[in-house]
Structure 1
Amino acid sequence: MKKIALLQPEVPHYRDDFFSLLRKQCECMDIYIYNSMDDAKKNGFDIHVKNLISISNIKFHGFLYYNPQIILRKKYDTLVLMLHFAHLTTWLLLFTKFIHRKKIILYGQGISVKRYIHEEKYPDWKLKWMIALADGIWVYMPKEERQWKAIFPKKKIVALNNTVTGMKDILKYRPDCDICLLKNKYNIREERVLIFCARFTSPHRRVDLLLETIQKLDAKRFGFIIIGDGINKPDFSKYRNVHDFGAVYDVDVKRDLFAIADIYFQPGWVGLSIVEAMGYGLPIFTFKRSEHTLQCVEYSYIVSGENGMLFEDMKQCIEILTDISHEELVCMGNNARQLAKTLLPENMVEKACSVI
């Protein structure tokens, strides 16, 4: 049993299960956060985890200095810090391990999403140096685990397989009534329904492609469910086939909407929302990662033609959406659910503990 100090910007609702289950595996685990609760709420996060400790810090042009004394003065065996080269205190703690003698695990994506295409070929030298100094690494996804293990074959590096809280309930869910009745309940009449569920806070969501898809598809046949709010959200009110629900916090309503949908569609910046959609048995449709269409690390869960589709361009997107059969969608959705069955918070904890 270990005594752990864990540093995070905040602990959003979708990580509740992971941190709660991890805490049960430790003699003591304290979570330190450097963002305020108000900032977290502004970013659309709902904070549920109890006993979070705010750590004093200074932020300057993307760099972070947090007070090391707070986590050094307690008798922790292990520090789980962020794999982030702009965290100045983390560098200090890595270089002074011979003094404080605490094990350091670094936790993060292991790659820059904004510089992904470059860094998947040429890993960031700053992250490489941090990893060399650390005792172990937690990355989100197997692709980045393989990349860093090729460089550090003897280092304890594990992919946690990023997932969301409540995955078992999502996987078990089946609607109580016929889909036609659900559609009537929410006044959704279109034959084929695409759902988008993400915060409109990032400019990389490629909302322009979402709008173009809405405009180019047959409005009588295709409907769109939109879940999410944010400063970059466009006005969907002029589209009669777009059903905008804003931010949805009612779990029953959200599950109804996912049950109505045939496809999860998010043109860019796909992340953990696709794991939730896969749990509901939806195939994931998005555009291929490029310099203009950025995708988060969870993008590698998508296998085109198996559990979703990756489009080269808008022409292909419209053609496939128009021609694909219901049977193909059901098959891909079933494959997506099968993958989601392996993506449980309990599995994340087991993998994390293998490094601790």
Structure 2
Amino acid sequence: MTMQTNIDDSTAGEEEARISTRVVMQQPSLAKYRVPVFRELAGRDGIDFELLYGDLDGIPNVAAEGFRSELVPLGQYRVLGTELLWHTAQGSAVSRKRADVAILVWNVRYLSLVPALLKAKFSGVKTILWGHAYSKQESPVRKFIRQRVAQLADALLFYNQQAATQFRSEGWPEERMFVALNSLDQAPIIKAKAHWAAQPEQLEEFRLQHGLAEGPVLLYVSRFDPANRADLLIAATAQLQKEFPSLRVVLIGKENEERRRLEELVRQAGLEQHVQFPGAIYDEQLVAPWFLSADAFCYPANIGLSLLHAMGYGLPVVTGDDIASHNPEIEALQDGVNGLLFQHGSVDSLTDSLSRIFSEPELRHSMSINAEKTIAEKFNLETMVDGMAAAVRYCRSLAD
């Protein structure tokens, strides 16, 4: 009986290896926050995963963990003020000797994309285009090119439901569209929360040391970029400190020209005792006490994955209501449920929204619970990869 079981297990293993779908993904870089995503996809049953990545300027590559990878240099060119790309990895990804399904970056600035899609048609490799499916600087020409390119692919993989819904309304086949809600790996956040929950005395000491014990405390964590409109937060602080004399506003991020501009605004407004800039903090264990000491998270414009970072800590998120100015992750925010939207560009509206959160503890508590629920039920690594795996299964079914 034991011998028979071993034979059956061996046969099953050989059968699984035989039917595994070879999935090759092309990316411009191997960013740290993407490693858990690719590792999760590589661990899914029936998927034999490989990543081909480039060396895009401004995004440092990290080591792969739990999946095969290969660095393929990325060509970057500027023509008439427009950055264009050529990545031979796209052509390599659609080689029949290497892949059954290829997942390519859905960005029409890749001059190598159309040749790769045409090669895939000829070789029989099924293709998935993964991307935003829109541009913040959208134009009729840009949209036309993006959609014509999409017609060459077998499946489309969107960052959020809103983009998929837009394509659906324009008559794109439902069965070809999949959504991988862009998410963060929450494991480091969960670990950091547990670490600090186990030592409340140290957390209280941290709050006292940094003047956060009385509050309210408002947090911003991200790079400093003019598009993020942190200047609105400084202006709102000038009004809020009159109602909340113990208000502390913490802006965490690497020093650059924009941060120096914001620091000057703080000095001009005489807000030094209310606003602090601790600098860049990349270690989750070290940034966690700032999140755990805050009452709300504010990112006035252009918000992205930072929204999911904050909600992982149960913080209500406040941002502007110009949805088009944000990144796909804005879909996680439900106005009045797990955060608040203020009138884009309005200091008074931002001030009112923040005042409401600070002065209504029941609302703040409800939003905190709903923020964590949003992450646990929808915007997480497993759900994201579920969308990717579904697209792969669909493409595999086309080949069977």
Pair 47,354 (structure 1): closer, same or farther in 2 beyond 3 Å: same
2:176 is matched with 156
**Normalising by structure 1, what TM-score?**
0.87
List per-residue Cα deviations over 1:160-203 (Å, max 9, x = no partner).
11110234753883533166444114333552111101112x43
Aligned to 1:140: 159
1:85 aligned onto 2:101: no
Deviation at 1:155, TM superposition (A): 4.1
Which one-letter code corresponds to 2:389 in the other structure? C
2:59 to 33, 40, 44: 40
Correspondent of 1:65 among 82, 86, 90: 86
- 2-side partners of 1:89 and 1:222: how far apart? 52
Q: Secondary structure at the match of 2:200?
A: coil
Structure 1 Cα separation of the partners of residues 228 and 320 of structure 2: 11
Indicate the structure with greater helix content. 2
CA offset at residue 27 of structure 1?
4.8
Worse-matched range after superposition: 176-185 or 139-148 = 176-185
Deviation at 1:326, TM superposition (A): 1.9
CA distance in 1, matches of 2:257, 2:331: 25
Aligned to 2:212: 188
Is the contact made by 1:131 and 1:137 (CA closer than 8 Å) also made in structure 2? yes
Task: Give the match for residue 73 of structure 2.
Answer: 56
Aligned residues of 2:41 and 2:47 also touching (Cα < 8 A) = no
Matched to 2:318, the amino acid is F
Aligned to 1:325: 360
Instruction: Pick from 325, 338, 351 the counterpart of residue 307 of structure 1.
Output: 338
Instruction: Specify the alignment match of 1:234 in structure 2.
Output: 259
Identity of aligned residues (%): 21
| Structure 2 stretches lacking a partner, 5+ long | 1-19, 393-400
Unmatched 5+ stretches in structure 1: none
Of stretches 125-134 and 233-242 in structure 1, the one that deviates more from structure 2 is: 233-242
Residues 101-112 of structure 1: pairs in structure 2 closer than 5 A? 101-112=124-135
Q: How has the CA–CA distance of structure 1 residues 17 and 125 changed in structure 2, closer, same or farther, with 3 Å as cutoff?
A: same
1:264-286 CA deviation, whole Å, 9 max, x = no partner? 10001110111111111111101
Measured after TM superposition, the shift of residue 114 of structure 1 is 3.8
Task: Measure, in 2, the Cα distance between the counterparts of 1:123 and 1:72.
Answer: 25
| Distance across 1 between alignment mates of 2:257 and 2:164 | 33
Q: How many residue pairs are counted as aligned between the two chains? A: 344
Aligned residues of 2:318 and 2:354 also touching (Cα < 8 A): no
Q: 1:135 to 1:232 in 2, by over 3 A?
A: farther
Pick closer, same or farther for the CA change 1:301–1:215 going to 2, 3 Å: same
Aligned match of 1:254 in 287, 290, 297? 287
The alignment status of 1:265 with 2:298, answered yes or no, reads yes
Give the direction of change, closer, same or farther, for the CA distance of 1:347–1:322 in structure 2 (3 Å limit): closer
Counterpart of 1:224 (choices 236, 246, 249) is 249
Give yes or no for contact 1:113–1:297 (8 Å, CA) kept in 2.
no
* C-alpha displacement of 1:102: 0.9
- Give the TM-score normalised by structure 2: 0.78
CA shift digits 1:50-73 (9 cap, x unpaired): 454222332222111122553355
Q: Which runs of 4+ in 1 moved over 6 A?
A: none
Shifted more, 2-11 versus 259-268: the winner is 2-11
